[in-house]
Structure 1
Amino acid sequence: MAIQNIINRTLGVNFNKQGFAEGRVWAPGAKELLLSTGNLELELDKQEHGYWTLSTEQLKPGDTYWFKVDGKQLPDPASLFQPEGVHGPSGAFDLIAFEWTDDEWRNTALGNYIIYELHTGTFTTDGTFKGIEEKLDYLVSLGITAIEIMPVSQFPGERNWGYDGVFPFATQNSYGGPAGLQALVNTCHSKGLAVILDVVYNHIGPEGDYFAQFGQYFTGKYDTPWGAALNFDDAGCDEVRRYFIENVLMWLRDFHIDALRMDAVHAIRDFSPVHILQEITQHAALLTQQTGKAYYLIAECDLNDARYIKPVQQGGFGFDAQWIDEFHHALRVAAGGERKGYYSDFNGIADLANAYQNGYVYHGQYSGQRQKTFGTKTDGINGQQFVVFSQNHDQIGNRMLGERSSQLFSFDMQKLMAGAVMISPFLPMLFMGEEWSEPNPFQFFVSHTDKELIEAVRKGRKAEFADFHTVGEAPDPQDVNTFNNSKLNWALLDKGQHNVMLRYYKALIKLRKKQPAFKNTDRESITIAVDETAKTLTIKRWTDEQQVLCLLNFSAQEQQVIIPQGTGQWQKLFDSAEPKWNGPLATAEIVSTGQIALSPQSIVIYTQHPA
């Protein structure tokens, strides 16, 4: 279905340029629908397809209101603001009132994205959008070009990862609400930073979910790991599809968000002739035609199915990029991490080489953990369509104790892992704090009010760790200390090895941005040699302007690595083993054909330019 009006939000309560409040709510089974604000109750008129509408001067921005469905008082399912939380009234908010100053801003080219994932509540002491604004100069100095904000849709209480949101249009009140997010994005653009927002269209959180009392938002045809599946292909699905397409358009159009990262799209069930994900990408393309601005859609998907990132014209869903967990898994096992749970399918250094070459590790091979042949080929797909990382919120927070790499790997190995990400032909992503080897964990936390739900979450977390941890107890997600323990410690930036790591990351990011061979995301311009016994990789990348030779040693011993024959002299660009990075011994500045001694757990990069 095509949405006729993509320039204005049409659902919920909106204010037009004349100051009138225009309301539209979908409640196909209702016999009467009222908007209640203060002492007023205003009737809505029933329209086709189960919509109810009104236009009034009696509701002003800043007022609170409820919808009464056949006498039952409920918050607006398309609410923009929940000032009193998920169980309170909705807040009337004027989306078009903000005075943007980013008219000259143009989205960064996707291939130039260097992404920094952060969680608003734990990124700073105060845990707000304003707190993020105060750290933007730091992120610019680090070399970041795009921040990725974990979900901000209204969730219960003030502590949550964000994936329990129950009002997809409402911006979390404790973070600063919709006005705070608009201000943050505006400031990001003034500093040259793109903004990616994480959104969740595969489920609705368990507490504060009033959707079913309005219409058929859910279907019993499918289940998800988080409860009832959203209705994208059952009776009434047209209006549910419209709801989420409008949500996408709102973030891009009204909040000036540059890209959306869609959570776990593999859990979205839809057997319609046109998949909802394809409809979303097509509407984003229509918005680009209207505004002239580029928007990117990034999928999180664990199916290794290239259809998600292939163009619609080639039978794909048209996403611009996707997260690649398999690169992370292969990298961790290569670094000496445990091979439990989903890591059991990865064999270390050879699989890491495979990931560099193919994006997916499994692209048509048999998976022992899944007990089936898994994945598709990625031929012809540019490297900028894959987002890779050595850490992210899931891979840290899904550990029982939430340990970061700083607690699991040596200082030298952390440097090597960072280098392995930055030299890839893919889009690199950092998780907040990794650049200074943050020791604080990132643990799972919630602030529900339903006691039975709180206990269910506790038991569920314990069950999740059966494959990884058999001893000890998971931190209580409801305990405020679990949240506070997950906050970044900014006082460490100038201290000892933390400062060394920060300077190391800055140098590495600068290298990525400056060197033509690393800026190049052409996956054809790479060769890889693997020595599984020595645990070394030799990676060569090139453009017409430059060749780079990357030597990676994942072993705990010095290893001899062979320089490719007939390639002439190489000049050193970067060396993680240099004393200035607290390394044991720098390698030679210039090398040619022969062998070179590579320090344990290190990465060395050489370059040469064509004559």
Structure 2
Amino acid sequence: MSASTSDSISDRFSHHCHYGATVLDERRTRFTFWAPGVETVTLELSRTPGDEPERLVMEKSSDGDFTLEIECPPGAHYRYRISDELSVPDPAARAQHEDVTGPSVVIDPTAYVWDNAHWQGRPWHETVILEIHVGTLGGFEAIRERLQDWASMGITAIELMPVNEFPGARNWGYDGVLPYAVEASYGTPDQLKAMIDQAHGLGLMVFLDVVYNHFGPDGNYLPHYAGDFFTGTNTPWGDAIDFDRSQVKDFFIDNAQMWIEEYRFDGLRFDAVHAINNDAFLLEMSERIKTQVNDTRHVHLMLENERNSASLLEKAYTAQWNDDIHNVLHALLTGEHEGYYADYCDHATDKLASALHGGFIFQGQNDRRGHSRGEPSGHLPTTAFIAFLQNHDQVGNRAMGERLISLVDQERLEAATALLLLCPMIPMLFMGEERGERNPFLFFTDHRDELADAVREGRRSEFADFSHFKDEKTRAQIPDPNAPSTLEQSRLSTGTDDESEAAMWHTRYMTLLDIRHAEIIPRLPGTRPMGAVPLGEGAVLAHWRMGDGTVLGIAVNLGTQRVSIDAPEGQRLYELGESDDANTLAPGAIRACLSSHL
């Protein structure tokens, strides 16, 4: 629902959320709090921040909702007292004062006036994503200074790692506990809106990662008053969430709708939905979001899903992060074979060909644990798959956070980059990748006391089975997630040691994105794979029938030996590597051609 309090009815937006503090007008606010596990709830309200809170008894309904409508202005601070010993923040608060355990703040969503209120987004096939972490870049205001550069180089969407409140001021955002509240260390709700507004003015879409599969270990008070939120079944992250319960579904779906309607995000990426493991809920989520969105808006819903559920992409979701293609490319480029790379290092070239042709590699086969994974995906459009060489997980979940540039020789990395940006999947980059960033991206948190110790030791023990970290002294070198220096090491360099290297990578990316925008993107709708064949170890030739009937051919050699090739015919879009012999392809070489036939 859109709302306005200005002369124009379309420059202010809000979404009516069932839970939380809803500003009704300039003077009145309604508070709604689901707490089926307690008999009484008292609203502790400081209409003026800093004042001694007034205590007001809330009315309980038969479904466990406590409500109260009173005179209360935006900016007021409040908590819910659920017992003599405990007052808790609002789980649906749009902002917090003093972190996740402090008072919640009443926010008027319509206070922000949008400059680009008529922005309708961009079609999905135009998408080129840059994933970013707001905290390491300095917050919402600092990101605004980078938007023009990203738009100028051909990025069409930025994807924010989660921005909802988490404990402390340093975190990836995936163990937050207040999904509606904007992280205060990044900026205010209005500053987030201003960043999105400016991005829209530059033609950039803005996507957001949301985490609905678990709550973090610090500041989650739900079990104290809403045990029915959970099933009682243990998971690696605590009690499983009960997505079959209507109040729980509404809590998360309302949250998703709020980000899209009120903050004008152009899409959401749903984290680890395999841990939700409830397709009925995921289908309802998509349906309710799409029903609410204006028909003229382009809103895109993305999944991270180890189950490779092609059916969710057929029925409800725009695309999925394709871990399969990342994992096989990483195994080919680095030779790494431990952990989940064990599923990709054997017959890696065949698996790369399979991914280029059919999207997923695992389409029902057993993985290394003997578990069947995936569904047939070859019938899906190529744009249903988001391809990447790096992201926050694949860099940050390494013990030392190394980026690919530190692990792979330049020639083969350049070839893999060209494959990423010219193939008909949707490409995604990780912040800094476009300039050859060498600083690591590490796992960082801001926990205290026993939890800080547990996170540090747990992080190090995760790598005990890796050959390089079997020794306890070696594991002790893994950066402490809670040390402020771990975040500082993860920031992008302000100036590289080698400016010429940064300029080279930036030029390479701009060249490839210019080609993508001119030759690939206009032909993407309706594109279908025609086949992909191995040419030798690490080398593949793939063809796609583009939407206009032309054929895109890409031959790439990520191996270490020259291979024979029947070169792709037609207009040469891009070539990298030795080209004296048209019938062979050197290591680190790639050729991309566009022809009217195959």
TM-score (norm 1): 0.89
- Select the residue among 146, 166, 186 that pairs with 1:155: 166
Q: How many pairs were matched up?
A: 569
Where do residues 91-240 of structure 1 align in structure 2 (5 Å cutoff)? 91-122=105-136, 124=137, 127-233=138-244, 237-240=245-248
Where do residues 444-593 of structure 1 align in structure 2 (5 Å cutoff)? 444-449=443-448, 451-468=449-466, 469-470=468-469, 471=471, 472-473=474-475, 474-492=478-496, 495-516=499-520, 519-520=523-524, 522=526, 524-533=528-537, 535-543=538-546, 544=548, 546-563=550-567, 570-577=570-577, 585=578, 587=579
Q: 1:86 to 1:130 in 2, by over 3 A?
A: same
1:438-467: CA deviation from partner (whole Å, max 9, x where unpaired): 110111000012x11111111221222234
Where do residues 345-356 of structure 1 align in structure 2 (5 Å cutoff)? 345-346=343-344, 347-356=347-356
Shift in Å at residue 516 of structure 1? Answer: 4.0
Q: d(CA) in 2 for partners of 1:522 and 1:406? A: 34
**SS of equivalent residue, structure 2 residue 566:** strand
1:24-63: CA deviation from partner (whole Å, max 9, x where unpaired): 1111233322221233222222223111111122x22122
> Percent identical across equivalent pairs?
34
Does the 8 Å contact 2:401/2:442 carry over to 1?
yes
Q: d(CA) in 1 for partners of 2:373 and 2:551? A: 34
**SS of equivalent residue, structure 1 residue 261:** strand
1:259-311: CA deviation from partner (whole Å, max 9, x where unpaired): 010100000144xxx7221111111011125x742322111000122122121
Where do residues 307-386 of structure 1 align in structure 2 (5 Å cutoff)? 307-311=311-315, 318-346=316-344, 347-367=347-367, 369-386=368-385
Q: d(CA) in 1 for partners of 2:233 and 2:541? A: 46
Q: 1:493 to 1:462 in 2, by over 3 A?
A: closer
Q: 1:491 to 1:521 in 2, by over 3 A?
A: farther
Amino acid at match of 1:87: T
Does the 8 Å contact 2:131/2:430 carry over to 1?
yes
Q: d(CA) in 2 for partners of 1:18 and 1:560? A: 73
Match of 1:315 in 2: none
**SS of equivalent residue, structure 1 residue 48:** coil
Shift in Å at residue 117 of structure 1? Answer: 0.3
Does the 8 Å contact 2:268/2:300 carry over to 1?
yes
Where do residues 283-302 of structure 1 align in structure 2 (5 Å cutoff)? 283-289=288-294, 292-302=296-306
Q: d(CA) in 1 for partners of 2:523 and 2:335? A: 29
Shift in Å at residue 7 of structure 1? Answer: 4.9
Shift in Å at residue 135 of structure 1? Answer: 0.3
Shift in Å at residue 521 of structure 1? Answer: 5.3
Shift in Å at residue 213 of structure 1? Answer: 2.0
Match of 1:9 in 2: 17
Amino acid at match of 1:98: Y
Does the 8 Å contact 1:121/1:175 carry over to 2?
yes
Shift in Å at residue 8 of structure 1? Answer: 1.4
- Structure 2 unmatched ranges of 5 or more: 1-13, 47-51
Shift in Å at residue 557 of structure 1? Answer: 3.7
Q: d(CA) in 2 for partners of 1:361 and 1:478? A: 37
Where do residues 61-80 of structure 1 align in structure 2 (5 Å cutoff)? 61-71=74-84, 72-80=86-94
Does the 8 Å contact 1:436/1:493 carry over to 2?
no
Match of 1:582 in 2: none
Shift in Å at residue 77 of structure 1? Answer: 1.2
Shift in Å at residue 220 of structure 1? Answer: 4.3
Match of 2:41 in 1: 33
Amino acid at match of 2:404: S
CA RMSD in angstroms comes to 2.2
**SS of equivalent residue, structure 2 residue 491:** coil
**SS of equivalent residue, structure 2 residue 283:** helix
**SS of equivalent residue, structure 2 residue 185:** helix
Shift in Å at residue 218 of structure 1? Answer: 4.0
Match of 1:3 in 2: none
Amino acid at match of 2:60: K
1:130-164: CA deviation from partner (whole Å, max 9, x where unpaired): 11111000110121111100001100111000011
Match of 2:583 in 1: 596
Q: 1:610 to 1:529 in 2, by over 3 A?
A: closer
Amino acid at match of 1:301: N
Does residue 280 of structure 1 match 2:291?
A: no
Match of 2:403 in 1: 404
Q: d(CA) in 2 for partners of 1:239 and 1:402? A: 39
Shift in Å at residue 496 of structure 1? Answer: 1.6
- Select the residue among 65, 68, 80 that pairs with 1:54: 68
**SS of equivalent residue, structure 1 residue 491:** coil
Does the 8 Å contact 2:528/2:544 carry over to 1?
no
Match of 2:418 in 1: 419
Q: 1:519 to 1:175 in 2, by over 3 A?
A: farther
Once the two structures are overlaid, the 10-residue window that deviates more, 419-428 or 295-304, is: 419-428
Does the 8 Å contact 1:111/1:519 carry over to 2?
no
Shift in Å at residue 385 of structure 1? Answer: 1.4
Shift in Å at residue 68 of structure 1? Answer: 1.4
- Structure 1 unmatched ranges of 5 or more: 1-5, 312-317, 578-584, 589-593
1:512-532: CA deviation from partner (whole Å, max 9, x where unpaired): 111147842545243322123
**SS of equivalent residue, structure 1 residue 540:** strand
Amino acid at match of 1:96: T
**SS of equivalent residue, structure 2 residue 552:** strand
Q: 1:325 to 1:375 in 2, by over 3 A?
A: same
Shift in Å at residue 103 of structure 1? Answer: 2.4
Match of 2:439 in 1: 440
Amino acid at match of 1:103: A
1:81-103: CA deviation from partner (whole Å, max 9, x where unpaired): 11210111111111121101222
Q: d(CA) in 2 for partners of 1:217 and 1:496? A: 58
Match of 1:24 in 2: 32
1:186-239: CA deviation from partner (whole Å, max 9, x where unpaired): 111111111110000000010011112221254344222222211223xxx221
Q: 1:239 to 1:284 in 2, by over 3 A?
A: same
Does the 8 Å contact 1:83/1:90 carry over to 2?
yes
Q: d(CA) in 1 for partners of 2:405 and 2:308? A: 29
**SS of equivalent residue, structure 1 residue 515:** helix
Q: d(CA) in 2 for partners of 1:18 and 1:86? A: 27
Q: d(CA) in 1 for partners of 2:374 and 2:589? A: 31
Q: d(CA) in 2 for partners of 1:60 and 1:17? A: 9
Once the two structures are overlaid, the 10-residue window that deviates more, 259-268 or 221-230, is: 221-230
**SS of equivalent residue, structure 1 residue 492:** coil
- Select the residue among 238, 261, 271 that pairs with 1:253: 261
